[in-house]
Amino acid sequence: MFENLKETVAAYRARDPAARSALEILLLYPGVRAVRAWRLAHRCYRRGWFYLARWISQRARKHTGIEIHPGATIGRRLVIDHGMGVVIGETAEIGDDCLIYHGVTLGGTGKECGKRHPTIGNNVLIGTGAKVLGPFKVGDNCRIAANSVVLSEIPPDCTAVGIPAKIVRGPAIPENYAAEVDQVNVGDPVAAELAALREQLEALCRSMRSE
């Protein structure tokens, strides 16, 4: 337990320039409090104490604004920055060293049974307001831009942006990619497509004028 707390404090300090002390992180950061409550709720959930598990998770939601279902699976060193409005579904899985901003939803797309929430790989950054919906995987070292809606699998080492999300940057991502929190210079796939169409139109007009 103490090793997990030590890792958590180090992760928040590395990724949040506003973090001033270990005590502040442990006692005041809603992401830390929500994950600590999830660990207790998850243990109850695995023992079949479903009502108690949900009571713990809903109490944590009330105090932190973060709703993590007791059945979710969370790896080590998860950082939830600010956290208000974060929702993590029952069958969601999150790997190690991930960074999640406020307003993120890891949800399903219907009332199907079984696996219905996404699996998030290691070292993944999910930007503010992003929605990842469905039982697919977001690969290791991926970055989901703010307000994107991801509805299908994202390969490892990619950046996705838009509604629905499209890949705008492929492999060859540096180590600790998710620690780089620049969410502005990710490209615009719609603008790129419009530019390509404009070029084709201009080429067609030039061809018609030359005839």
More confident residue, 175 or 94: 94
List, for residues 30-69, the tens digit of each pLDDT value. Answer: 999 999 999 999 999 999 999 999 999 999 999 999 999 9
Higher per-residue pLDDT: 199 or 184: 199
Nearest-angstrom CA–CA distance, 100 and 205: 47
Instruction: Write the pLDDT tens digit of every residue in 85-97.
Output: 999 999 999 999 9
How far apart, in whole angstroms, are the C-alpha atoms of residue 23 and residue 39? Answer: 20
- Residue 107 DSSP class: E
Domain ranges of the chain: 2-183
| Phi, psi for 40 (deg, rounded to 5) | -70, -45
Q: pTM (2 decimals)?
A: 0.80
Instruction: Give the right CATH number for 2-183 from 3.60.10.10, 3.30.1110.20, 2.160.10.10, 2.40.30.10.
Output: 2.160.10.10
